Amino acid sequence: MILEFHRQRDNTGPSLALDSISGPIYFLDITEWREYSVKLSNALCSFIIPSKVISYCRNEIACNKISLSIPSAYREQSVRWFIRVLMTVFLCIKACTSETELPNHIKILAKTLQLYMIRTFRMVLVSKPTLLTAFREEGVWDLIFSENCFYFGSSVEDMQFHIVAEVQNEDINGNTEPTDSESLYLSDVNILQLEAISFLEYAATLNENKYNLPECSALLEALEHCIYDPVVVSILLKSFRVILQLATEQTLVSFKSLDVITGVLKAACQQAKELQNFSCFPSDDVISSGYGSKIENIEMSSSGKRTEYAIICIELALSLFKEYVTISSYGRILILHNPDCIECLFNLFQEKNFRKHVLEQIFALFRLPPSSKQDHAAKLQLCSKYLENFTRANEKEKVNSELLVDLLVNMREIIMMDRMYYQNLFRDGGCFLYIVSLLNGTFNEATGEQLVLNVLETLTLLLEGNDASKASFRMLVGVGYQTLQSLLLDFYKWLPSPSERLLHALLSMLNEDVVILVLNILQKSSTSLQHYGLVVLQQLLKQSIANRTSCFRAGLLSYLLDWFSVEERDDTVGQIADLIQIIGAHSISGKDIRKIFALLRCGKIVAKKKHSSLLLTCLSHMLKEKGPEAFFEFDGHDSGIEIKSPFQWPYNRGLSFSCWLRVENFPENGMMGLFSFFTEDGKGCSAVLSKSALVYEVMVVFLLTQNSNF
């Protein structure tokens, strides 16, 4: 056949040998060999479709007309035979591979045959969709997406064969697209890859195809194989999205069975990782696929171009992820229970350009209501992964303060979705250790205080109204928050003085453990900030007996006396004395009384008559203060007095209840319970209190009997 083909050439000039090998091909130059390869491929494909229509059959109507003239049984058998023959042919071509590359003439033949094969397969499937089963049974996807076809290597020096421009300008459906000068220089392997993906995409979205898992599986394997190539990965991701849009129901089933989204996110993570390394890559055109093969793509001679392709790839992956969880009713639940997906999302979160988009998806997972123990466990794992990012951002040589602040701000938003639930969930995930550890780092002056303020705001929200969280945090940092206090004071050693924002953050967090910390910060602050902080603290003490009790238990009086003994400014001493008077009038220990008398005998204090006079005035007011020596404090949450001794109602000898009340604030909605005496059968009395009324209620159960006369 080769000799016959050579005789038909009307060319008497000298021939250019392809390679230094013997045989008939020695008589063919490059152009002749290409034309011969086309004729050979056309002849082989003619066993399925007439050779004269392979080149011009471009639409479904024309293909259907051809299919009517070919018996169905013959066409199916010819398809099966054709695939088996091609597998054998490509194995033989593979055997010709040396340690370097295939000979040029073999490469031209292989690529021509591959292109004609894919185009013929598509024509067959367009004319007879039911043959998809035969294609699958013969392993068509294993054939196309293999080292012999889809991953078939080429080199930059490869010359284009004459059908390249034709394929680019006119697709199989007859759609003509203009091409620029750059597109004409795409390597032929890209054309093959595009044709292969297009064929698979068509097969996966056929109306007759109610189960496209084989096609999705082939596409996923290609994605894993080409994970280092952003151009091919981008094409594959686009194809996944098209299949999801055009064949939604069956594709969702396939995605779930194959765990496609995990593969998509892993591909995005690989490209995110490569973004950091592209600047170190040599400016060649070869990208290793990691599987021993090399894939040639659009020329990427600069790291900037590679970066652009990687960014596009990540954007496509996130877009596909978003569309999947939007379309699928169970998509987010599956993601929540998939540790690999969660890991990938937080890896992408590290990239600043995509942080906002990834955070939207993470927030959506946190918003899912936990409907089972498995959901709760998955959310706990999600919280743990979120907290691990604090360590990742804080373990580098230079602390990423901006990322840490973003994490803290977003964490507060998550907690506000369901305050009590996420307080407990983050506590169980060990959040306090992660957050407090942020203060034990190296900061710069510009962002350091912002980080400290966000740490305090986050801790305030985590502890607010949650006794279990307060106890857990106290176990970590010690009574009086000693560890937190040490870290904050170390932080402000290299700053001029604490700011008003820091004081507000601590006052928002105020409880008996924070009181001494506030005073420590005030003592190292500017004069104006000291005055402001002492006035605010004085107002808080005057407003509430509970506040005075908490401050006394925290040792505020003892600290104030120590500060009083060393303070030089008279205006500050006066404010400290006012606080000593308020706390001492409420409660004072023998130790504090001895400390006051010791100060009165101190030569330094005696020398300052004004200071001695202030202390004596404080003692005088403490003696005059009148109030309850003992009281119960009810905060309204599971608080009250319970009488366990049994009694019957109504009680014949009577029952009295008397007390003095001090209500510091009334609830915004409803009324405040004063007492409630009820027996198990519902009899008894109760009283509730509002701003304007006292409501007393008595419940008596009457038994009615009815007599019947017969």
Ranges 33-37, 132-136, 630-634: which has the least confidence:
630-634
- Give 686's pLDDT tier (boundaries 50, 70, 90): confident
Q: What is the mean pLDDT of residues 356-362?
A: 92
- Sign for the pseudo-dihedral over CA of 394, 396, 397, 398: negative
Q: How many helices and strands in the chain, by DSSP H and E?
A: 34, 5
Give the pLDDT score at 473: 93
Cβ atoms of residues 426 and 474 within 8 Å: no
4, pLDDT greater than 80:
no
What percent of the chain has a predicted confidence (pLDDT) above 90?
24
Cβ atoms of residues 458 and 435 within 8 Å: yes
In degrees rounded to 5, what are phi and psi of residue 695? -110, 125
Tokens of 18: 């392809």
301, pLDDT greater than 60:
no
Ranges 198-212, 369-383, 631-645: which has the least confidence:
631-645
Q: Which pLDDT tens digit goes with each residue over 72-127? A: 777 788 888 888 888 888 877 777 665 456 677 777 888 888 888 888 888 888 88
Roughly what angle, to the nearest 10 degrees, separates helices 401-417 and 419-428?
Answer: 130
Q: Which pLDDT tens digit goes with each residue over 194-234? A: 888 999 999 999 988 889 999 999 999 999 998 888 888 99
Q: Which single residue is written with the structure tokens 């294993």?
A: 142
Task: Determine the 3-state secondary structure of 560 from DSSP.
Answer: helix
705, pLDDT greater than 90:
no
Give the largest CA-CA distance in the chain. Answer: 135
CA distance linking residue 236 with residue 220, whole number of Å? 8
Q: What is the mean pLDDT of residues 662-688?
A: 77
Q: What is the mean pLDDT of residues 311-323?
A: 93
625, pLDDT greater than 70:
no
- Give 554's pLDDT tier (boundaries 50, 70, 90): confident
Residue 413's H or E segment, with its range, is helix 401-417
- Give 9's pLDDT tier (boundaries 50, 70, 90): very low
Q: What is the mean pLDDT of residues 252-269?
A: 94
Q: Taking the C-alpha atoms of 426, 430, 435 and 439 in order, what is their torsion angle to the nearest 10 degrees? A: 170
- Give 162's pLDDT tier (boundaries 50, 70, 90): very low
Q: Residue 492 half-sphere exposure, CB side, CA atoms within 13 Å?
A: 22
Q: Which single residue is written with the structure tokens 């509730």?
A: 688
In degrees rounded to 5, what are phi and psi of residue 533? -65, -40
- Of the candidates 319, 312, 316, 429, which has an alpha carbon nearest to the alpha carbon of residue 366? 429
CA distance linking residue 19 with residue 25, whole number of Å? 9
Ranges 430-434, 508-512, 557-561: which has the least confidence:
508-512
Cβ atoms of residues 411 and 426 within 8 Å: yes
Q: What is the mean pLDDT of residues 42-62?
A: 64
Task: Determine the 3-state secondary structure of 208 from DSSP.
Answer: coil
Query: Strands 672-678 and 294-296, how do they pair?
Result: unpaired
Better-predicted residue by pLDDT, 686 or 61: 686
Give the pLDDT score at 421: 94
Better-predicted residue by pLDDT, 168 or 305: 305
Q: Note the pTM of the prediction, 2 decimals.
A: 0.71
Tokens of 78: 């010819």
Better-predicted residue by pLDDT, 136 or 658: 136
Question: CB within 8 A of 500, min separation 6: which ones?
Answer: 529, 532
Task: Determine the 3-state secondary structure of 206 from DSSP.
Answer: coil
Q: What is the mean pLDDT of residues 538-543?
A: 86
Query: Strands 294-296 and 694-699, how do they pair?
Result: unpaired
CA distance linking residue 248 with residue 256, whole number of Å? 12
Question: DSSP label at 418?
Answer: S
Question: CB within 8 A of 628, min separation 6: which ones?
Answer: 660
Answer whether the bond into residue 628 is a cis peptide, omega within 30°. Answer: no
Give the pLDDT score at 181: 31
Q: What is the mean pLDDT of residues 44-71?
A: 61
151, pLDDT greater than 80:
no
Give the pLDDT score at 1: 43
Q: What is the mean pLDDT of residues 237-250?
A: 93
Contacts 24+ apart (CB under 8 A), 627-636: 627/586, 628/660, 631/545, 631/662, 633/545, 633/546, 633/549, 635/546, 636/667, 636/672
Residue 535 to residues 216, 269, 550, 594: CA-CA distances in angstroms? 69, 54, 18, 27
**Cβ neighbours of 502 (radius 10 Å):** 22
292, pLDDT greater than 50:
no
Q: Taking the C-alpha atoms of 706, 707, 708 and 710 in order, what is their torsion angle to the nearest 10 degrees? A: 170
Better-predicted residue by pLDDT, 229 or 652: 229
CA distance linking residue 295 with residue 297, whole number of Å? 6
Q: Which pLDDT tens digit goes with each residue over 517-540? A: 888 888 888 888 888 888 888 888
Burial class of residue 204 (count of CB atoms within 10 Å of its CB; 0-12, 13-18, 19+): buried
Residue 40 to residues 35, 45, 55, 154: CA-CA distances in angstroms? 9, 9, 14, 21
CA distance linking residue 402 with residue 100, whole number of Å? 50
- Give 294's pLDDT tier (boundaries 50, 70, 90): very low
- Give 478's pLDDT tier (boundaries 50, 70, 90): confident
187, pLDDT greater than 60:
no
Q: Which residues pair with 676 in a beta bridge?
A: 686
Give the pLDDT score at 510: 78
Contacts 24+ apart (CB under 8 A), 59-63: 59/173, 59/174, 60/126, 60/127, 60/173, 63/123, 63/126, 63/127
Q: What is the mean pLDDT of residues 433-456?
A: 82
615, pLDDT greater than 60:
yes
Q: What is the mean pLDDT of residues 176-190?
A: 40
